Chains A and B, each alone.
Chain A
Amino acid sequence: MSIAAKANTIWQYANPKKFLATSERVLPFFWATAAICLVVGLVWGFFFTPDDFRQGSTVKIIYLHVPSALMAINCWLMMLVTSLVWLVRRHHVSALAARAAAPIGVVMTLIALVTGAIWGQPMWGTWWAWDPRLTSFLILFLFYLGYIALWEAIEDPDTAADLTSVLCLVGSVFAILSRYAVNFWNQGLHQGASVMRAGAVTGTDTTEKVSNVFFYPLFLCIIGFVLLFIALVLYRTGTEIRARRIRALLARERAGA
């Protein structure tokens, strides 16, 4: 297959009708696999793994904390990509997908922050510390809020899509800048990102690692969160498309058509 033909197969989903038809067909699959992964992963993680020798059973919040934190960042990345697609190719579905994803990202960020606080209290003796990671997530949370507020504030949907896309681009640059600034400002309590480190998986690093016992259910939970995210985004994008459609129809009616 030529590259052009391949590109065509992706862009055909930019048609709202095609998108709706396809997403309705695949949604049940995503809902089901997400549910299976999450139920199995969480039950396995909560009830069938040993307590950590240092952290006790509090460690088990990792099964919510790590996947939600990952998705909080990946959701912003997805919004960045779809915003770029909107700015370059002007596909409405892309802009609406970004709009649909933002509230999911906020919830993921909030879950990560709250579970982090619950985990941090017994571990560090405090609900909140101005640690770089925590602070970065708080700033990410603010970016999400600003992005959503801008979408809500602007009446014309195309204008809103353009402005929020530029905000997403500029915001991404500043979010990365903030991450480094915060790191510079305060070295923190939070352990490194230990899940995906080579040492963690092979078990050679004994001080800060997630051992295999914890890793398999955690991996399942991460997959579950990814699938859940995809399902939610597809579902919400469908809702946004229908809302846009209603808006367009109402506008036509007012215009006397």
Chain B
Amino acid sequence: MTLIVTDLAIARGGVPVLEGLGFALEPGQALVVRGPNGIGKTTLLRTIAGLQPPLAGQIAGAEDRIAYAGHSDGIKPTLTVTENLNFWAAVFGARGILGALDAYDLHELADRHAGNLSAGQKRRLGLARLLVTGRPIWVLDEPTVSLDKEAVGKFADAVRAHLGQGGSALIATHIDLGLEAATLDVGPFRAVPKPVDDFDGDFL
């Protein structure tokens, strides 16, 4: 099923940041979201993931089909890598975690406490979590932060494999992942402020 976003408007801290945004994300496709810092990429992804309501517009085909990965990975430092992954696998309805360990080369770290991992290793664990969710649409916010070149390659491979299985991905990133992906530049959708004297129920 396609993720279709139409005429979306979103706000951050009560101020509209993007409006009139629309796109469709077909199965097997990846879409890279680009735009300068602070334009509202994170807000856009959180809105699509259902964490906050949009100001206006529709998001179709997102319900219960999105795996979201934000700036923090939701990793518990006192649990081991395996325990962390097993937990998320159980929450999303048990699938094996071996594939996820393979994809990000985590086997050697499997019994380490997550608190002892480096930032890049933690990130790999966070991304491995996506593979155990079994959700078809990945919504990823700056997924390659603190990854080295090799790990970025692994991530790109994982995304390619996911797309190959009919999944799709919406990725906000500044680097080139080497993916066959369309680009969505959100710059032109920057919200135009209403005239200041238009003093309506929202104070905006």
Contact = CB atoms under 8 A, between A and B. Distances in A.
Given a CB threshold of 8 Å, the question of whether A touches B is answered with yes
B64 interface: no
B44 to A, nearest CB: 15
A245 B203 contact: yes
B201 A158 contact: no
Nearest to A155: B13
B202 A92 contact: yes
B25 to A, nearest CB: 28
A193 interface: no
Interface residues of A, number: 19
A252 interface: yes
A158 B17 contact: no
Contacts of B202: 92
A90 B182 CA distance: 38
Nearest to A90: B201
A257 to B, nearest CB: 4
A14 interface: yes
Contacts of B200: 15-17
A43 interface: no
B119 interface: no
Interface of B is mostly: loop
A251 B13 CA distance: 8
B201 A156 contact: no
A236 interface: no
Contacts of B204: 248, 252
B203 A255 contact: no
Contacts of B196: 249, 252
Nearest to B11: A158
A156 B203 CA distance: 14
B15 A252 contact: yes
B203 A91 contact: no
B interface bracket (residues with beta carbon within 8 Å of A) = 10 to 19
A190 interface: no
B14 A14 contact: no
A178 B201 CA distance: 37
Contacts of A257: 193
A245 B15 CA distance: 12
A157 interface: yes
A244 interface: yes
A92 B201 contact: yes
Contact of A92 (B13, B17, B193, B203): B203
Contact of B201 (A14, A157, A249): A14
A7 to B, nearest CB: 16
Interface in A1-49: 14-17
Interface in A211-257: 244-245, 247-249, 251-252, 255, 257
B193 A16 contact: no
Given A252-B193, A257-B193, A16 B14 contact: no
B13 A16 contact: no
B203 A244 contact: yes
Contacts of A158: 14
Contacts of A249: 196
A252 B17 CA distance: 10
B198 to A, nearest CB: 10
A91 B182 CA distance: 41
Given A156-B13, A156-B14, A255-B15, A245 B193 contact: no
Interface of B: 13-15, 17, 193, 196, 199-204
28 contacts: A14-B201, A15-B200, A15-B201, A16-B199, A16-B200, A16-B201, A16-B203, A17-B199, A17-B200, A92-B201, A92-B203, A93-B201, A156-B13, A157-B14, A158-B14, A244-B203, A245-B199, A247-B203, A248-B15, A248-B204, A249-B196, A251-B13, A251-B15, A252-B15, A252-B193, A252-B204, A255-B17, A257-B193
Interface of A: 14-17, 91-93, 156-158, 244-245, 247-249, 251-252, 255, 257
Given A92-B202, A255-B17, 11 more contacts: A15-B200, A16-B201, A91-B201, A156-B13, A244-B203, A248-B204, A249-B196, A251-B14, A252-B196, A252-B204, A257-B193
